[in-house]
Amino acid sequence: MILGAFIATLNQTIMSVAGPELMNDFGISAATVQWLTTGYMLVNGILIPITAFLMQRFTTRELFQTSMILFLAGTIVSAIATDFNVLLIGRLIQAAGAGIIMPLLMTVILTLFPPEKRGGAMGMVGFAIIFAPAIGPTLAGWVMENYKWEMMFYGMIPFAVIVIICGFVFLTNVSERSNPKIDVISVVLSTVGFGAMLYGFSRAASAGWESAEVLLSIIGGLVALVLFVWRQLVSSNPLLDLRVFKFNMYSLTTFINIAITMIMYADMMLLPLYLQNARGYTAMESGLLLLPGALIMGFLMPVTGKLFDKFGAKWLSVSGMIIVIVTTLGFINLTDTTSYTYLVLMSTGRRIGMALLMMPVQTAGLNQLPNRLNAHGTAISNTIRQVAGAVGTSLLVTILTTQTKSHLQDAMASGATEGVTQQQMITNATISGMNDSYLVIVGIGVVGLILTFFLKRVAQASEEKQPAAASNMKVQEANM
């Protein structure tokens, strides 16, 4: 299952460097090619909230094999695509399979392992979801330099086939089927709400926040989500049980995860922009810069999981967030001469901090939930990560765009343009805008750091009782 999640997560990022070639091959604009990423994210965001229902309706084996077969089908369609519409359809089919895999895997981990052993198991999951997207741009850059873009999909087919075969041979069911009735209204509200919100935030990065398309999408999504939340709270058998937020540690870690996700998108979005647009590095060189951090992070994730099992999440998370903040401060004074080595060191440092943070924080919250809420907790956690990623990307792009214009206007107004070409002025303004964006990320990190001091090691809640308000919760602290 971890190998399947690794392949699905890797697939999410490989198209990032293929945009220019696809634009040439299909004669499409940058806005059109972006749908390969936006559409993938939308399908993921729509499917993840209903995975809790799917996990009750189908067995582990049925659901995992179906998701991997969907992923394989989408990969084959994408590989043989002769026009952009077929390629987009293939990507959407891939996303339908990938959106199910990660919540399912996390729920299986929570079912198989007792709370005191989940850290190590979740560390291996973290290896899949963090290491894969980190090496994705590097791998894709190498493929694009040596082969056509189709090879990225052809290369995945044998790995997907191996996972499916291994699933038939080794995978056993770990959950019980309860055959719940599907709430169609909740599914519609969830689809419209999360879909419109994700679309609105993703489009805000390119169309601008004042765009009617963006505003209507976000407002419509919010209205649908409010109705969705109300229906879940009054339903006796909710599609997504929001009562998980009555557990204090789960709620706290959810807010910390929002900050972590937004911070993580800095490296994934801002740094490649700086390297390729402002400094003229190739996609391959941009990907290679992130590779050392990805390798170290991949090694650290299982180690961090073991440390979590032994010591809990608090001081691991505090240490990780401090490292992230300090290394991010190293990006607030970028120039057009900042050395490649310096960028590698700072980026690698951020990855070390993220390795200490991500799985311990998420596992600490999920450990508090009773087993009956595991599927709902993982579905909500993954959904919020999708939304936080979209919001974080839009926020950073907006800050970058507005601050770049502001710095350019200031430079022209101050008369500091003599002897400087227009392209140099734009480059300098863009770098200054990126510095401002990283400063905002530092602020988000400080908020996350404050929240991590409130983390506690708590016992798993009782199966028999619904959680009361936080003041009435009787959760004993686990022995170290």
pLDDT at 267: 66
Specify the DSSP class assigned to residue 16. G
Burial (CB count <10 Å: 0-12, 13-18, 19+), residue 207: middle
Q: Give yes or no for residue 30 having a pLDDT over 70.
A: no
pLDDT at 322 over 90: yes
Look at residue 201 and tell me whether its pLDDT is greater than 70: yes
Considering the domain architecture, whether residues 112 and 251 belong to the same structural domain is answered as: no
Rounded to an integer, what distance in angstroms lies between the CA atom of residue 366 and that of residue 360?
10
pLDDT above 80 for 471: no
Do 445 and 339 share a structural domain? yes
Non-local CB neighbours of 388 within 8 Å, separated by 6+ positions = 257, 258, 261, 262
What pLDDT, on a 0 to 100 scale, did the predictor assign at position 473?
39
Q: Is 271 exposed, middle or buried (0-12, 13-18, 19+ CB in 10 A)?
A: buried
Asked whether the predicted pLDDT for residue 16 surpasses 60, the reply is: yes
Q: What is the CATH number of the domain that holds 88?
A: 1.20.1250.20
* pLDDT above 80: residue 127: no
Name the least confident of 7-21, 96-110, 166-180, 323-337: 7-21
pLDDT higher than 80, residue 207: no
Number of CB atoms found within 10 A of residue 367's CB: 27
Looking at residue 458, the DSSP 8-state letter turns out to be B
The residue-averaged pLDDT of 143-149 equals 80
Contact 116, 122 (CB under 8 A): no
Looking at the structure, tell me whether residues 392 and 274 fall in a common domain: yes
Same domain as 297, residue 213 = no
What pLDDT is stored for residue 452 in this prediction? 93
pLDDT at 364: 87
| Secondary structure of residue 476 in the 3-state scheme | coil
| Close Cβ partners of 32 (under 8 Å, ≥ 6 residues apart) | 23, 84
Residues 208-220: what's their mean pLDDT?
86
Residues 99 and 173 in one domain: yes
The more confidently predicted of residues 338 and 203 is 338
Mean of per-residue pLDDT scores for the chain: 82
Query: Scanning the structure block, which residue is given the tokens 């209205």?
Result: 223
pLDDT at 480: 37
> Range of 304's domain?
243-480
Indicate if 187 and 272 belong to the same structural domain: no
Decide if 397 contacts 405 (C-beta within 8 A): no
> Predicted confidence band at 186 (pLDDT cuts at 50, 70, 90)?
confident
Please provide residue 458's backbone torsions phi and psi, each rounded to the nearest 5 degrees: -120, 155
Last residue of a domain, one of 152, 179, 206: 179
Token pair, residue 344, equals: 């590698």
Q: State how far the Cα of 389 lies from the Cα of 133, in Å rounded to an integer.
A: 13
pLDDT of 365 > 80? The answer is: yes
Same domain flag for 175 and 74: yes
Number of domains in the chain: 3
Q: How confident is the model at residue 396 (pLDDT cuts 50, 70, 90)?
A: confident
pLDDT band of 420, cuts 50, 70, 90: low
| 276 has a pLDDT exceeding 90 | no
Domain identity same for 252 and 398: yes
Do 163 and 267 fall within a single domain? no
Domain boundary among 128, 146, 179: 179
Closest C-alpha among 270, 191, 220, 215 to residue 434: 270
Does residue 144 register a pLDDT over 80?
Answer: no
* Residue 387 and residue 247 share a domain: yes
Tell me, yes or no, whether 169 and 193 share the same domain. Answer: no
- In the predicted structure, residue 439 carries a pLDDT above the cut 60: yes
Return the pLDDT at 466.
45
Query: Is the pLDDT assigned to residue 191 strictly greater than 80?
Result: yes
Query: What is the rounded distance in angstroms from the CA atom of residue 18 to the CA atom of residue 280?
Result: 17
Least confident of 24-38, 78-92, 191-205: 24-38
Question: Do 269 and 322 sit in the same domain of this protein?
Answer: yes
pLDDT at 462: 67
Q: Give the long-range contacts of residues 405-411, CB within 8 A, separation 24 or more.
A: 405/429, 406/433, 407/432, 407/433
Q: Could you give the residue ranges of the DSSP H alpha helices within 58-183?
A: 60-79, 84-112, 118-126, 132-146, 150-154, 157-170
- Give the best-scoring range by mean pLDDT among 108-122, 196-210, 271-285, 433-447: 433-447
- The residues, any chain, with a CB within 8 Å of residue 363's CB and separated by 6 or more, are 118, 119, 122, 305, 308, 313
Task: Judge residue 389's burial from the number of C-beta atoms within 10 Å of its C-beta, 0-12 exposed, 13-18 middle, 19 or more buried.
Answer: buried
Confidence class of residue 475 from pLDDT cuts 50, 70 and 90? very low
Tokens of 303: 């180690």
Instruction: Provide the angle, in degrees to the nearest 10, between the axes of the packed helices 118-126 and 2-13.
Output: 30
Of 6-10, 139-143, 306-310, 332-336, minimum mean pLDDT range: 139-143
CA distance 235 to 247: 19
Nearest one of 97, 462, 117, 143 to 309, comparing CA atoms: 117
Query: Which of 199, 221, 238 delimits the end of a domain?
Result: 238
